[in-house]
Amino acid sequence: MAEVYYVGVDVGTASVRAALVTRQGLLKTTAEEPITIWKPQPEHYVQSSTEIWQKCCSVVKKVIREVQSDQVRGVGFDATCSLVVLDESFQPVPVTQDGDPQKNVVMWMDHRAAEQADRITNTGHRVLNRVGGVMSQEMQPPKLLWLKENLKDSCWNKAAHFFDLPDFLSWKATGSTTRSLCTLVCKWTYCPPAGWDPSFWTIVGLEDLLENNFSKIGSETCPPGSPLAGGLTPQAAADLGLNPGTAVGASLIDAHAGGLGVVGADVQGFDLPCEGWPITSRMAMICGTSTCHMAISEQPRIVPGVWGPYLSAMVPDLWLNEGGQSATGRLVDHIVKGHAAYAELQEQVNQRVPFTGADVYSYLNSHLAQMAGSPPDVDLLGSSIHVWPDFHGNRSPLADPTLKGMVIGLPLSQTVDDLARLYLATLQALALGTRHILESMKEAGYDIRTLFLCGGLSKNLLFVQIQASATALPVVLPDQSEAVLVGAAVLGACASQDYGTIQEAMEKMAKVGRVIQPNQELKSFYDRKYKVFLQLFSHQREYQALMKHR
């Protein structure tokens, strides 16, 4: 009998990826294509849904090249939580001042709607209880309000469909406008089983979205992985190189696909503290440009500054809480590439291997080991330099987008050694930010015993080790390097009904690869460094208060 496969498609910030995945969760082939990001104004980041779909088709055709199309049983999509705008004929509507209709996607990291987000927060509406009490400018309501207030004629009045990018992809594949509970619950304030709260949209000035039973933003919903319509339409099947009717699962936000790809793995035999405990004792961390910290519970838990609780947003019938850091991989790149010694670092790397971006971090990790002399002493190189990592605001647990980054302990010199120490201190600060989120979740009743990491940053083993040591928790890395793609494929597997539930598919398709234990000798060091970390926040609050007075 021929092997069966599932296709997982992941639309990240800067690229589209696809994977052909076996029933056991093994990656057979992968492909990747870049996508364009435009920055027409400060804090404005936009993309093209047309280009994104074209790249989806390209990568899928590449990964299925060596198999028969009838061997592919299902397709799943995940994507960033960006906002796609289409007109009544499902054609692109511009979201920029220049009126270019191809620029019809407001990206997740677009912060143009900061003022609108503040106004929504100031309403104090009850839906805010599910987003940590603060409306983030990375969610969709403030972006919608910005479009209405700033591009009323060229965008708002022409728009007939507002999709989260994952739902746009599933619509493009199946013709179904049914939205995934993942997107609507996490980014749009939808709350099952009651649904939309009309009073919220009215009080924020978006009452026109109530028309036709909220048809512009979604009248019908379903849990992630549910089969949509009749599967692939003939047009989508031709675009993707697959058979019409191939099952398509309701989509996920990219971070949540990463959660599916790691957090449900069978951990028996790895001597982990979460073994024998329910899945609620685990936290998934999807570490890339930004980082999402996701934990699930059987009962709803309100965690100040942490999004949720969201019912069935990742795993059906379980509640999700989602913390996060707005800039992690992006911050590391900013710190390293913006340093005066970066050109010298590049020269040193080029002397060893042909230069690629990934090699910079491998080189820095080995350079720090040489500076320290022994592995446990690497962390101690960060004793005199401290970073507050919220260069792009704080998503969790403080929910304050106005916060900025801080660095304490910079010398007058600007050598590669100085760059390496600053890089190390940045990794440590990101790990202490995770600890800050964990402590908030613990106060709300969570008992997290193990961290499950995936994403680009999780391939940096120094980053992973510091996460373990700073939080005093073991870290599990997935057997397959691209866990987000496995998570997307899980959706296709569920839609095909080859697995009965998301939980069953997660357990069979997600696997433990490597376990990183915390360095117990560093517990006291990280306890002290965490105290300094919290003091940096207190000082920044004091500085802000002082400078408000003339």
Cβ-Cβ contacts under 8 Å for 524 (sequence gap 6 or more):
none
According to the model, what pLDDT value does residue 140 have?
98
Task: Identify whether 139 is part of a domain.
Answer: no
Q: Is 241 left (phi over 0), alpha (psi -120 to 50) or beta?
A: left
Mean local confidence (pLDDT), 169-174: 98
CB 179 within 8 A of CB 221: yes
Task: Identify whether 469 is part of a domain.
Answer: yes
pTM: 0.89
According to the model, what pLDDT value does residue 375 have?
74
Task: Identify whether 265 is part of a domain.
Answer: no
According to the model, what pLDDT value does residue 418 have?
98
Mean local confidence (pLDDT), 208-235: 97
Task: Identify whether 106 is part of a domain.
Answer: no
According to the model, what pLDDT value does residue 548 have?
77
User: For residue 20, is pLDDT > 60?
Assistant: yes
Task: Identify whether 285 is part of a domain.
Answer: yes
Task: Say whether 130 sits in a helix, a strand or coil.
Answer: helix
Nearest Cα to 315, choosing from 275, 367, 357, 279? Answer: 279
Distances (CA, A) of 521 to 376, 448, 537: 8, 21, 26
The CATH number of residue 295's host domain is 3.30.420.40
Burial 295-306 (b: 16+ CB within 10 A, else e): bbbeeebebebb
Task: Identify whether 471 is part of a domain.
Answer: yes
> What share of the chain has pLDDT > 90, as a percent?
90
Task: Say whether 284 sits in a helix, a strand or coil.
Answer: strand
Question: How many domains does the chain contain in total?
Answer: 1
Summary mean pLDDT of the chain: 95
According to the model, what pLDDT value does residue 461 have?
96
Q: Is residue 493 very low, low, confident or very high in pLDDT (cuts 50, 70, 90)?
A: very high
Q: Is residue 356 very low, low, confident or very high in pLDDT (cuts 50, 70, 90)?
A: low
**Whole-number Å distance between alpha carbons of 148 and 315:** 34
The residue that leads in pLDDT, 193 or 355, is 193
According to the model, what pLDDT value does residue 353 have?
66
Task: Identify whether 316 is part of a domain.
Answer: yes
Q: Is residue 407 very low, low, confident or very high in pLDDT (cuts 50, 70, 90)?
A: very high
According to the model, what pLDDT value does residue 550 have?
62
Task: Identify whether 419 is part of a domain.
Answer: no
Task: Say whether 297 sits in a helix, a strand or coil.
Answer: strand
**Whole-number Å distance between alpha carbons of 417 and 288:** 25
**Range of the structural domain that residue 293 is part of:** 277-325+436-490+501-521
What is the per-residue pLDDT across 250-277, written as a single tens digit (0 to 9) for each? 999 999 999 999 999 999 999 999 999 9
According to the model, what pLDDT value does residue 354 have?
61
